A and B are shown apart, each in its own frame.
Chain A
Amino acid sequence: MQRIGVFICWCGSNIAATVDVEKVAEVIKSEPGVVYSVNYQYMCSENGQQLIKNAIKEHNLTGIVVGACSPRMHEATFRKAAESVGLNPYMVEIANIREHCSWIHKDMAEATEKAIILVRTAIAKVKLNAPLTAGESPVVKRALVIGGGIAGIQAALDIADAGFEVDIVEKNATIGGRMAQLDKTFPTLDCSACILTPKMVDCAQHEKIDILSYSEIEDVKGFVGNFSVKIRRKARYVDETKCTGCKICMEKCPSKKGLNDFNMNLNTRPAIHIPFAQAIPNVAVIDPAQCIKLKTGKCGICQKFCGVGAIDYEQKDTFIERQYGAIVVATGFKPISLDAFNEYGYTENKDVITSLELERLMNAAGPSNGVLVRPSDGQHPKVITFIQCVGSRDTSGCGKPYCSKICCMYTAKHAMLIREKYPDTEVHVFYIDVRTPGKNYDEFFRRAVEQYGVDYIKGMVGKVYNENGKLMVQGSNLIDNEQVTIESDLVVLAAAIEPEPSVRKVATLLTASIDTNNFLTESHAKLRPVESPTAGVYLAGVCQGPKDIPETVSQASACAAKVIGLLVKDKLKTNPCVATPDEMMCNGCSQCANVCAYGAITYVDKEFRLGGGKTEVRRVASVNPAVCQGCGACTVTCPSGAMDLKGFSSKQIMSEVEAICKM
């Protein structure tokens, strides 16, 4: 015999002002199966929970209904309370009489009537509830970090320092990411390489960290605590274990005309190369599109000169499969393509460059050895004009609707560095707004204006055109309300940034949500900002949204904390509200597996007794409760209704429908 207890919460006046809670509790007393019904000011309070606990014990309740706020708010609270006195937590149902009733209705009679129906509906459901027990699944004590930029490096170091194994999978030949390309960093102007490369070395030397460079994620199976990831190790045609990084091959390689992507294609590099001096791993890689030997079969010079025999033209992509408990996505960003921005003349004029190209031109290890020169003629530019928000905050459809967040600060940095190194240079900056929220950021920007005399012009640029070798920048000055044309030697575009395009594939493999701008979605913007909605997947750096280095590093460390919190557990509790097939009903028709997004359903041949000593082997569905997420897609697909969902069974939902309709 069912013994249901009903607890109606006032939520102070939040519910009680619109719903006659006393009446609800009173009317519900006469519902079949209800043996106890009460109302109280704050059910979620310590006293309220005690009231529930006492009632469960005193009245031997077999199930309870709490008429209160949304189950998304306090379902867990009331379940815990029930569990503490021995009632299975899944014998608790919530009637949402606040968000779905008292808060949206004004008329007391109407709201009270609705509250009664909602409570009755919850009673109808709880009568069909069954005690459920959360399963357990083991945790693999190893983390995967996808992306070896500063975000991935920081996350990996923090996780490894806590004592867990970490693999960094980096698609390029070296870790370091975008930060390795930068010259100085704001707001302190310390050298990027000086702060990044020691961390790269730390990674390489850390006994718990395994760097899988020149590798990509191919396939992901499994679930939180137990992911199985297939990794493609791309052929670099150089044996990583043998190469000493001596660079003789780079000197001898006859094919030296490849564009140097690390230097933003501003100069060239040999077919066999190490991306930059401090690369980790310090191992060469051959660009197969450029290598004469790989293209024509004739050459082989690097192999001849390699003292350790590391060159292997026969190398093929290989695959490894590893298990992980948690995954950090840190795939980073790239500047957007400027093909759609003809007005700035980027494609026609060599001296219209992006900010990232400027970083390379100003870097001592860059193509001009740190001397700022015009790409067209190698001359020192006398007038430099910066244009901000190129493709950011752009609702025209050409660019991105969001603010790229880092451009105001790096433009101020560039302007300041140029004025400091070349005081004879005139620097103008066109801006829509200057956004500098951040510790010491506004001070930094003001220094650019006040101490370094950078000319900031509020207004947008309409056109950049070449007139007799000069770049004419035509824009508006909104403060002086006039059109201006600045004759410039170099134009620098602060191009918007966008997530590295490969993140889409990664998101698909991980079943992680992604927004229309290709940024990965966090589980909750404020309260769970580093977690993906997919359990066990965490987000660090620009893949989640535009951010600068300090923010990226903070987020990466936050990810690491979450990962460590997961990996220290030996076992995880799984959601018990999963699909289960009734084997006596199952046809083994495979329809359910076709709609399962998680691959939780497999089929087994099972022997069944037919009676009379006979048996029959039948193919039946089998659900892995650790993998099933409990969506219920399979339950509707199943033609015989053999598949049902615990906690949301067909009969439960049907009886809720009945309770609502029978007024």
Chain B
Amino acid sequence: MRDVELKMKERASELLKSGEVARVIGWKKGEFYHDPQPASFESVEELNAFVYNGFCGANLSKYLIQMSKKEGKTAIFLKPCDSYSFNQLVKEHRIVRENIHVIAIECQGKLDIEKIKAKGFDFVTEVEENGDEIAVASLYGNGAVQKDEVLLGKCETCKGKVHQVKDEEIILHEMQAGKKNRFEEVEKLEAMTEDERFAFWREQLQKCIRCNACRNVCPACSCLKCVFDNPASGIAAKANDDKFEEQLFHIIRAFHVSGRCTDCGECSRVCPQNIPLHLLNRKFIKDIDGLYGEYQAGETAEGKTPLTSYTEGDAEPNDVVNGEVR
């Protein structure tokens, strides 16, 4: 990944120097090696802090909502999965395509620091990908781990290695697609009894502290002002004296992003309580695929979503829930 990072930095520097773009969105060093932060670089000097490594899991596309409105062009580094979110945002007129220069970048799957820690490596100082293996350097020693075992949850079921949009690309090595079937976990839940499912979700949702991290990171949650902050919607807690929002937040949020969620998995990645929130969205995706034909949000930047279209022969809700249609 080092070579990729160098190339990216070099290109960013060129773009800024030539004045072709006013800023570049990428990642900068965090407090630790494993927590690079999304950042906007406006000068070559600022690029000193630029990083791109196995921990750059964050989806940068949502930052464009604000950035693409600014004066001058904005360059952005997008991983294949982030490109779906980008298209979806263009489709919803949330970002101005003409003001953006998309640099498609290589991604070999991003890593989960917790999983690496669990392998006995604390205070990681560097990782380098080596095919199926990851060489890890840490304050407490160096070693190697199997990549499959330390990938972020969202990368285990990676949607593929093809960018849906790009103006140029920096891809130096062949990319490997994810191996796991992304609906496996959903199917497991579907196979449970109602009681078991209820127990599972209550257990999970009990952990929620309503910190809004999922909402803030979600590229589909791109609203100027969230429906939960809209007193006219009748669901905002501020306007109510009951716990409606508190209690049903995740159902409403999942419904709101259905048909628009690209399955980027950021919600689960950022959840401080480790709630598998992606399993909510994936249920909608699975049902949409099954009922209305395969649909991948963000594949294109045009067209209607499954919930803003219909066919005359669509399945009946009662039949769907009774399992008569799948």
Would A and B touch once assembled, by the CB under 8 A criterion?
Answer: yes
Residues in A lying within 8 Å of B, measured CB to CB: 582, 584-591, 594-595, 603, 616, 618-619, 637, 639-642, 644, 649-651, 653-655
Supposing A585-B225, A637-B308 touch, asked if A590 and B232 sit within 8 A by C-beta, the answer is no
Q: With an 8 A cutoff between CB atoms, is B99 at the interface?
A: no
Distance A589 CA – B233 CA, assembled complex (angstroms): 18
CA distance A619 to B233 in the complex (A): 21
Q: Determine the chain A residues whose CB is within 8 A of the CB of B225 once the complex forms.
A: 584-585, 640
Q: Which of B216-240 contact A (CB under 8 A)?
A: 222-227, 230, 232-235
Given known contacts A590-B93, A594-B308, A644-B232, A585 and B256 CB-to-CB distance under 8 angstroms: no
Q: Which residues of chain B from 246 to 262 have a CB within 8 Å of any chain A CB? A: 256-257, 260
Tell me how far the C-beta of A588 lies from the nearest C-beta in chain B, rounded to whole angstroms.
Answer: 5
Complex alpha-carbon distance, A603 and B232, angstroms: 21
Beyond A649-B232, A653-B234, is A639–B227 a contact (Cβ under 8 Å)?
Answer: yes
- Residues in A neighbouring B287, C-beta threshold 8 A: none
CA distance A650 to B308 in the complex (A): 20
Cβ A591 vs Cβ B234 within 8 A = no
B179 touches A (CB below 8 Å): no
Q: Determine which residue in B94, B227, B260 has the highest number of CB atoms from chain A within 10 A of its CB, and name it.
A: B227
Contact of B305 among A582, A586, A591, A619 (CB under 8 A): A591
Residues of A within 8 A of B260 (CB): 639
Residues of A within 8 A of B257 (CB): 639
Question: How distant is the Cα of A584 from the Cα of B230 in the complex, in angstroms?
Answer: 10
**Which residues does chain A contribute within 8 Å of B307, judged by CB atoms?**
637
Which B-chain residue is minimally distant from A635 (CB atoms)? B233
> Which residue of A582, A588, A639, A642 is within 8 Å of B93 (Cβ)?
A588
B141 to chain A, nearest CB (A): 49
From B92, which residue of chain A is reached at the shortest CB distance? A589
Contact A640 B223 (CB under 8 A): yes
Residues of B within 8 A of A (CB): 69, 91-94, 222-227, 230, 232-235, 256-257, 260, 304-305, 307-309
Known A-B contacts A594-B304, A594-B308; the reply to A587 vs B222 at CB < 8 A is yes
Q: Of residues B92, B222, B223, B256, which shows the largest number of chain A Cβ atoms within 10 Å of its Cβ?
A: B223
Q: A587, B234: Cβ atoms under 8 Å? A: no
Distance of A616 Cα from B65 Cα, bound (Å): 13
Contact of B308 among A591, A649, A655 (CB under 8 A): A591
Q: Which residue of B lies closest to A620 (CB)?
A: B224
Output the least CB separation between B83 and chain A (Å).
19
Contact B92 A641 (CB under 8 A): no
Contacts of B94 in A (CB 8 A): 587, 589
B224 touches A654 (CB 8 A): no
Q: Which 10 pairs of residues, A with B, have the shortest CB-CB distance?
A: A641-B233, A654-B234, A594-B308, A589-B92, A640-B223, A641-B227, A650-B234, A641-B230, A651-B234, A588-B93
| 26 A–B pairs (Cβ distance < 8 Å), ordered by A | A582-B230, A582-B232, A585-B223, A587-B94, A589-B222, A590-B93, A591-B92, A591-B305, A591-B308, A594-B309, A595-B308, A616-B69, A637-B307, A640-B223, A640-B224, A640-B225, A640-B230, A641-B227, A641-B230, A641-B233, A644-B232, A651-B232, A651-B233, A654-B234, A654-B235, A655-B234
| A644: B residues at CB distance < 8 A | 232
Residues of B within 8 A of A619 (CB): 93
Residue among A618, A641, A653 having the largest count of chain B Cβ atoms under 10 Å: A641
Q: Considering the chains assembled together, what is the distance between the CA atoms of A590 and B308 in angstroms?
A: 10
CB of B39 to closest CB in A, whole Å: 23
Taken together as a complex, chains A and B put the C-alpha atoms of A641 and B224 apart, in Å, by 11
**In the complex, chain B residues whose CB is within 8 Å of the CB of A590:** 91-93
Contact A585 B93 (CB under 8 A): no
A618 to B305, CA, bound (A): 23
Residues of B within 8 A of A641 (CB): 227, 230, 232-233, 235
User: Other CB < 8 Å A-B pairs besides A585-B223, A588-B93, A639-B223, 8 of them?
Assistant: A584-B224, A585-B232, A594-B304, A595-B308, A619-B93, A640-B227, A640-B230, A654-B234
Complex Cα gap A651–B92 (Å): 26
* Residue pair A640, B92 in contact (C-beta under 8 Å): no
Judge whether A585 and B69 touch: CB under 8 Å. no
Residues of chain A within 8 A of B230, CB atoms compared: 582, 585, 640-642
Residues of B within 8 A of A650 (CB): 232-234
A587 to B220, alpha carbons, bound, how many Å? 12
Please, which residue of chain B has its CB at the minimum distance from the CB of A583? B224
Closest partner residue, chain A, to B220 (CB atom): A639
List of B residues within 8 angstroms of A586 by Cβ? 224
With both beta carbons as reference points, the residue of chain A lying nearest to B256 in the complex is identified as A639
State how many angstroms separate the Cβ of A650 from the closest Cβ of chain B.
4
Q: How far is the CB of B227 from chain A (nearest CB, A)?
A: 4
Q: Nearest chain-A residue to B236 (Cβ)?
A: A641
| Cα(A649)–Cα(B304), bound, Å | 26
Tell me, in angstroms, the Cα distance from A618 to B260 when the chains sit together. 21
**B residues less than 8 Å from A651 (CB atoms):** 232-234
- A585 nearest in chain B by CB position: B225
Most buried by A among B222, B225, B226: B225
CB-nearest residue of chain B to A637? B308
Residues on B with C-beta less than 8 A from A591 are: 92, 305, 308
**Which chain A residue has the least Cβ–Cβ distance from B303?**
A594
CA distance A588 to B90 in the complex (A): 11
Which residues of the other chain, A, contact B226 by a CB distance below 8 angstroms? 640
CA distance A160 to B15 in the complex (A): 70
Contacts of A654 in B (CB 8 A): 234-235
- Smallest CB–CB gap between A404 and chain B, Å? 28
In the complex formed, the residue of B with least CB distance to A592 is B308
Report the minimal beta-carbon distance from A572 to chain B, rounded to whole angstroms. Answer: 29
Please indicate the chain B residues that have their CB under 8 angstroms from the CB of A594 in the complex.
304-305, 308-309
Q: Which partner residue on chain A sits nearest B309 by CB separation?
A: A594
Closest to B259 in A: A591
When distances are taken between beta carbons in the complex, the residues of chain A under 8 Å from B233 are: 641, 650-651
The CA-CA distance from A5 to B260 in the complex, in Å, is 46
Q: For residue A637, which residues in chain B have a CB less than 8 angstroms away from its CB? A: 307-308
Which residue, A587, A616, A644, has most C-beta atoms of chain B within 10 A? A587
A616 to B66, CA, bound (A): 11
Q: How far is the CA of A297 from the CA of B234 in the complex (A)?
A: 70
In the complex, which of the residues A594, A649, A653 has the most CB atoms of chain B within 10 Å of its own CB atom? A594
**B256 contact set on A, CB distance < 8 A:** 639
Q: Which residue of B lies closest to A655 (CB)?
A: B234
Q: Which residues of B contact A642 (CB under 8 A)?
A: 230
* A616-B69, A653-B234 as given contacts; A585 in contact with B224, CB under 8 Å: yes
Q: How far is the CA of A591 from the CA of B259 in the complex (A)?
A: 11
B305 contact set on A, CB distance < 8 A: 591, 594
- Report Cα–Cα, A588/B224, bound state, in Å: 10
Once bound together, how far apart are the Cα atoms of A650 and B227, in whole Å? 12
Separation of A490 and B249 alpha carbons in the complex (Å)? 77
In the complex the two chains form, is B224's CB within 8 Å of A587's CB?
Answer: yes
For residue A8, give the distance in angstroms from its CB to the closest CB of chain B: 28
Identity of the chain B residue whose Cβ is nearest the Cβ of A589 in the assembled complex: B92
